[in-house]
Structure 1
């Protein structure tokens, strides 16, 4: 998984901020990445500036089975119960996340910029024979936003900023399908003659296939910010980023065992390749940040960010084939908070040292609503960073964070066949970031 703020949000939007665990991100305004965190911070950047950053995110998500089973009361009469077969697996997948920003001063009080980055993302992948294959094999969400912004310095104490975002999303989801259990369910409903599944060798847990859904969409949102200078050494940042409604269109592909396909060919129009659609409301968030400089060398930072993850109440996929029932996964997420503290030490005009801590709440309410696609939990960040001023117009930053993830229990039901995934994830994350800043 490469979502390392709450849920599947991506907070890795600068390497300079990484070193502080993104504490004070809406107030620090030390480079053009402020376009994402608080566009009002552009008023602290005279001239023109370009920032290129990249992050290597290396998660582990080791699953241990704790008695996963088939629930016969939920399998449409399928005569099978007992343990789910399959191996444990690590769903973590290393990913690279880039950022680009450009800012420029248009006048004494007017500033502009543009950012290109990824505000949301997810990547988990498991072996085809793992015990949770009916819940998830591949899950990938990729987003890109193009975010132009303007900032206006009202006076020496108050600046305001606003931006718009064109957002692209690309989603791929796959899982195994227990067509043996599906077949017996069709028998119990009278769609197939009694005994036809067994006669064809299509038995529960013994006739796996696969379902894979892909979809894309463009949509838009906006972000707003204010920067309030309480004194020459202290400022507060307020920032808001809107929700974005994504209406995805794409296709569904099914890989069906030949023995079961022969039964479907008797006149059951299910599991044929078709179009697919889904709607996802990606949540808004709001932040308040503090930056305070004790002197020319030392500064402290703090931040609290709220995200409205309660918008994510279910994942529903509808199919163009009118006979194919929708796939619905209840989520029922809660709103979440992220808290962070950081410090900056400038030993001289060349070297900058950073450190930070953050606590990031999971929006997933309990084990019942946790799935192997997003096996998240509360996490604690420890971060370190280093900046080096190469010349008057060029600087590099590097950052490293380790995320300690709380023990993560899962008790997830596959509603189509009654398979219950029960277990625990042992997870952590390492992130390495690097950034080049050039001023003109």
Structure 2
């Protein structure tokens, strides 16, 4: 039964995650009582504590959640996809079921908040670029002085990852297709950054993936997307969509580095122009001040960058930015690449081909393992490299002293080095930050 003596108490399992954590912060700011847990401590959990969410337990046990429930009855248990998929006997979920407490994944709660606060959803979806594009929309709204709530899957310098703004009309949301999460929503406006088959364990065929995006579009009051994606999804004759020509982005005064960044920016500008009636030239000027976000060509030390690229399309996007920046200084670009999950590689190995075009050297390290199929063999870097159009540019390596020395040699020579990785804890990104700290 719902707790009537206090504000609704919501418990977030996996509160340190990039999807659950921001939602917990939004719920706290929206007036709910919030507690949670995670398997391990993190900087983001410390951040949540500093922002008023103090009741967070490290370690997910039956006893810990029972103590939380005894102190103040839990009304709603929100859990991540990992809880459902990785552990069918998760102790917290078992306790919640025994107590007949309402439980769901994050989408149902977010829909409840949208309804309670009468927020119009501006959803950004797509296989690649949605985090950057979401951040760009948040940036424009802030520069225009328009109140908006938001949730984005990376740290930004101009706000929290999750934020509820009292009195706001819009909620800007990074709508993830993983586990079909984005199909839980009926957005007021949707932006689709690009579509190429991914999350193969959820969408076994390319057609499954395409149909999910078509369903998402059908649930949106209006959708903005590029011509090639409209063709890929076979949207001929569809209504309530704006189909944009990529050439438009290059005909503007956008000065952001990277062709993919300029495409993402123009998608946002078109949508915000129609929402606010602000002149296009003013929106372009404001967008040129976009400061970027964490792990999207983020500089760690001079000439060493971390980027979230972990699919061929993301690699091309990250490299387009790196090559433009390097060209200004006449630098070579060197990539250190850690694929995200072995499972993905079985589907995309043939798509790498020329995605590193323009890089002088690639160091390819073993895949970051997560949510793996134990029946699939591990594909080594040496095998993946053979699928490149020019395998001679790549060398298989491991995260060790030899790799550190190779990176340092390139830095000493004045090269730009970009670490491309999508993993979380104990990933190439963390290793780079630990081994190459600012002076």
Identify the structure with bigger relative contact order (alpha carbons < 8 Å, sequence gap 6+).
1
What is the TM-score with the length of structure 2 in the denominator?
0.27
Greater share of strand residues, 1 or 2? Answer: 1
Larger Rg: 1
What is the TM-score with the length of structure 1 in the denominator?
0.26
